Homo-oligomer: A and B are copies of this chain.
Amino acid sequence: MNAISHFAELKQRQRRADALPAAFVARLRERFGERLSLARAVREHHGTDISSYPVTPPDAVVFAESTDDVVAVVEACGAHRVPVIPFGTGTSVEGHVLAVDGGVCVDLSRMNHVLEVNAADLDVRVEAGVTRKQLNAEVKDTGLFFPIDPGADASLGGMASTRASGTNAVRYGTMRENVLGATVVLADGRVIRVGGRARKSAAGYDLVRLFVGAEGTLGILTELTLRLHPIPEGMSAASCAFPSVRAAVDAVIEAIQCGIPIARVELLDRLTVSAVNRYSKLGLAEAPTLWFEFHGTPRGVEEQATQMQAIATEHGGVGFVWSSRPEERSRLWQARHDAYFACLALKPGSRMIATDVCVPISRLADCIAATEEDIARASMPIPLFGHVGDGNFHLMILVDPDSDAEIAEAWDLNARLVRRAMAMGGTCTGEHGIGLGKREFLVEEFGPAVDVMRAIKQALDPAQLLNPGKVL
């Protein structure tokens, strides 16, 4: 099935009548009372993420307040063969929360308690609905922070489920490296605890990593134990313009090979710089640009910035400016986070189709160069930016959501890019996940390994009720 037929199918689904058995609704109503909603607005909100897919609402929404609540929903759904879809903040970008087969959405946003902060051990236990900003606010006094930052103030359960990362994965890793343990509700209602608080373990199969990135298709995460990191004593941010994307990428490769422990390094193409200049009033030179952040001791970050400046200059970088002043740093990174809105503003009324390939960094400049040719031929504005230290970059293809032609053009461009990246040893998704739209690419990327994924899905969710239509 190609992307366009997804859209047609989803629009069809949008018009589908309620189909939940009355006995099932009665069972949920008895347990959840007003925490069960069948209201259209509530359902539509829960059938929407930030992708360009049509709204695809579930038949009902339950607001869970505990692991037991989630068990009750899953058991009821199992008994009546109704799909169940976990929901955090609805900020995923690959249609993860869309109810393509209807069913019940379990909203976890009320499970928003930080349960346990262990400062000496640099870990924390949270309910899955806690968002990353909430967590950072609640642990601030410990001198620790949770570094994973995908931009949106997503729920930690959702971030774990999509294996999210973001701007500082180059230093701190992704959700894969930062989830120590989890409580999971399985398809049959069993509750298991996977992983734990030990910093490392060689005890049995790595179930934590199996559920992290499974997009809610193998179980529903209700609690997480996460790693925290010390807030660095020194931080500095820097910006530098380059004559070409290739020069910028080469500078980053050299810095990484030299072992400079860059905390963040973001590439913005000329169009993105122009968009953020306008949106965030930055006045940057409109050229391919790198934004850096360094973490360490005050002397250490000075040393890192100085080393980085020397490398950037060698590669033709100009106007390298760095600052340890918090307000300067915040201004730059707020602008980076606003890039989404800044880019949307390039085409009023548009939605974005975001690409997400990740390639070995040695191929990044080639991959971007070939992609720039596609961009030049495209009928819409397409800013490009990304996490260059990881080889992960995004196009934000700005489409008119009502134009089938634009959507088709965007998906075609995405498909070309994904295949280009895979041919270079890369992956179809660095951090957004498979969701609805990349299932074909998953098969192209991994071939028979996908049969192993299917076998695992079959073993853990034989009735295929957990977030159906996603990943596989």
Which residues in A have some Cβ–Cβ distance to B below 8 Å?
Answer: 118-123, 143-144, 162-165, 169-170, 173-174, 176-177, 186, 190-194, 196-207, 209-210, 212-214, 218, 229-233, 253, 256-259, 261, 296-297, 299-300, 303, 307, 356, 358-362, 389-392, 425-434, 438, 441-442, 445-453, 455-456, 458-460, 471-472
Given A204-B471, A206-B213, 8 extra CB contacts under 8 A: A118-B360, A165-B200, A192-B448, A192-B449, A203-B445, A207-B453, A233-B258, A459-B459
Q: Are A194 and B360 in contact (CB under 8 A)?
A: no
Question: CA–CA, A253 to B122, complex, Å?
Answer: 10
Q: Are B198 and A358 in contact (CB under 8 A)?
A: yes
Q: Which residues of B contact A431 (CB under 8 A)?
A: 200, 202
- Show 30 A/B contacts (Cβ-Cβ < 8 Å), sorted by A: A120-B360, A163-B206, A165-B202, A174-B200, A186-B452, A192-B447, A192-B448, A192-B449, A192-B452, A194-B449, A197-B360, A198-B360, A198-B430, A199-B389, A199-B391, A200-B431, A203-B433, A203-B434, A203-B445, A204-B434, A204-B472, A205-B210, A205-B456, A207-B449, A230-B259, A259-B296, A296-B300, A299-B299, A455-B460, A459-B459
Q: How many copies does the complex hold?
A: 2
Min Cβ gap A193→B in Å is: 6
Q: Are B201 and A429 in contact (CB under 8 A)?
A: yes
Taking a contact as CB atoms closer than 8 A, the residue among B213, B229, B426, B441 that contacts A198 in the complex is B426
Question: CA–CA, A258 to B119, complex, Å?
Answer: 11
Question: CA–CA, A233 to B120, complex, Å?
Answer: 30
Q: Are A257 and B358 in contact (CB under 8 A)?
A: no
Q: Which residues of B contact A212 (CB under 8 A)?
A: 206
Q: Which residues of B contact A164 (CB under 8 A)?
A: 202
Min Cβ gap A1→B in Å is: 17
Q: Given A209-B210, A214-B205, A253-B120, is A390 in contact with B200 using a C-beta cutoff of 8 Å?
A: yes
Q: Which residues of B contact A441 (CB under 8 A)?
A: 203
Among A204, A257, A389, A425, which residue has the most Cβ atoms of chain B within 10 A? A204
Q: Which residues of B contact A231 (CB under 8 A)?
A: 259
Q: Which residues of B contact A299 (CB under 8 A)?
A: 299, 303
Chain B residue at smallest Cβ distance from A445: B203
Q: Are B427 and A198 in contact (CB under 8 A)?
A: yes
Q: Which residues of B contact A232 (CB under 8 A)?
A: 259
Q: Are B361 and A429 in contact (CB under 8 A)?
A: no
Min Cβ gap A225→B in Å is: 9
Min Cβ gap A241→B in Å is: 23
Question: CA–CA, A227 to B190, complex, Å?
Answer: 37
Q: Which residues of B contact A460 (CB under 8 A)?
A: 452, 455
Q: Are B257 and A198 in contact (CB under 8 A)?
A: no
Q: Are B359 and A206 in contact (CB under 8 A)?
A: no
Q: Are B361 and A425 in contact (CB under 8 A)?
A: no
Q: Which residues of B contact A358 (CB under 8 A)?
A: 198-201
Q: Which residues of B contact A123 (CB under 8 A)?
A: 360
For the complex of A and B, the 4 pairs showing the least CB-CB separation, nearest first, are A209-B209, A230-B259, A120-B362, A201-B427
